[in-house]
Amino acid sequence: SYVLTQPPSVSVAPGETATITCGGNSIGSKSVHWYQQKPGQAPFLVIYYDSDRPSGIPERFSGSNPGNTATLTISRVEAGDEADYYCQVWDSDSGHVVFGGGTKLTVL
Amino acid sequence: EVQLVESGGGLVKPGGSLRLSCAASGFTFSPYSMNWVRQAPGKGLEWVSSISSTGNYIYYADSVKGRFTISRDAENSLYLQMNSLRAEDTAVYYCARDVGISRINWFFDLWGRGTLVTVSS
């Protein structure tokens, strides 16, 4: 089965840039979506189709998927960005939705 | 208000059954594919099942295939019948709407708050 690998944690100071990676076999050939989940809340879509932002998501959130690793980048990080972030793809071979293990973003 | 509200969770013994419901409101339910995603305590997200807008296409994770059944009605409700429950099925179960209308896009733009299922003797 297809596996997505994320770092368990990323820490960044306020105002700096956070980079969260998502690795998978030939991930560049798939569409990657990213969700934010704050404690006690449901997940929330922040990036879709690798780099598109839903309405209402700040431009500080961006995504890329150039080939071997997809990346969620959060610029000018704020305390309110502290959350778990999950990448997600659809694996056409299995017909299954796959989530990464999640990355906890800590704002120092 | 556009929302999804899950219900039906609770404590059940191993081997038991439970039926979850998800009520949609504030939008037209029928054109959207729908999904169940679960999250074990302190763990990450795990996709469980998807159903197309017509109900003709249904998909399951390997971990629940043969034990869980997803279904929907024509109005505003999604269901998950869970049989032969195991301790490892303990999780918050979220109902999630696929972003696409009349086709499956395989990502989710609207989530409910979830309902907790605990499988324990």
The pLDDT tens digits for A11-59 are 999 999 999 999 999 999 999 999 999 999 999 999 999 999 999 999 9
With 80 as the cut, is the pLDDT of residue B13 above it?
A: yes
Looking up tokens 């109900």, which residue turns up?
Answer: B55
**Are B61 and A44 an interchain contact pair (Cβ–Cβ within 8 Å)?**
no
Query: Does A57 contact B at CB distance below 8 Å?
Result: no
Residue B47: which of A37, A41, A97 has the nearest Cβ? A97
Query: Does A95 contact B at CB distance below 8 Å?
Result: yes
With 90 as the cut, is the pLDDT of residue B65 above it?
A: yes
B70-112 pLDDT, tens digit per residue, is: 999 989 999 999 999 999 999 999 999 999 887 888 999 999 9
Q: What is the pLDDT of residue B27?
A: 95
* Contacts with A56 (C-beta within 8 Å, 6 or more apart), sequence order: none
User: Residue A3 burial (CB < 10 Å; 0-12/13-18/19+)?
Assistant: exposed
**Are B62 and A86 an interchain contact pair (Cβ–Cβ within 8 Å)?**
no
- Taking alpha carbons only, the member of B96, B68, B93, B92 closest to residue B82 is B68
Query: Does A30 contact B at CB distance below 8 Å?
Result: no
**Are A88 and B107 an interchain contact pair (Cβ–Cβ within 8 Å)?**
yes
Query: Does A86 contact B at CB distance below 8 Å?
Result: yes
Nearest CA in chain A to B113: A42
Q: What is the pLDDT of residue B102?
A: 77
Q: How far is B16 from chain A (nearest CA, A)?
A: 26
Q: What is the pLDDT of residue B100?
A: 83
Q: What is the pLDDT of residue A67?
A: 79
Query: What distances in angstroms separate CA A83 from CA A16, A90, B85, B92, B97, one per listed residue?
Result: 16, 23, 31, 18, 22
**Spatial contact of A33 and A49, defined as CB atoms under 8 Å apart:** yes
Residue-averaged pLDDT of chain A: 96
**Spatial contact of A104 and A84, defined as CB atoms under 8 Å apart:** yes
Query: Does A1 contact B at CB distance below 8 Å?
Result: yes
Q: How far is B61 from chain A (nearest CA, A)?
A: 7
Residues of A in contact with B99 (CB under 8 A): 45, 48
Q: How far apart are CA A66 and CA A107, in angstroms?
A: 27
Q: How far apart are CA A33 and CA A90, in angstroms?
A: 9
Query: What distances in angstroms separate CA B38 from CA A28, A42, B80, one per listed residue?
Result: 26, 11, 12
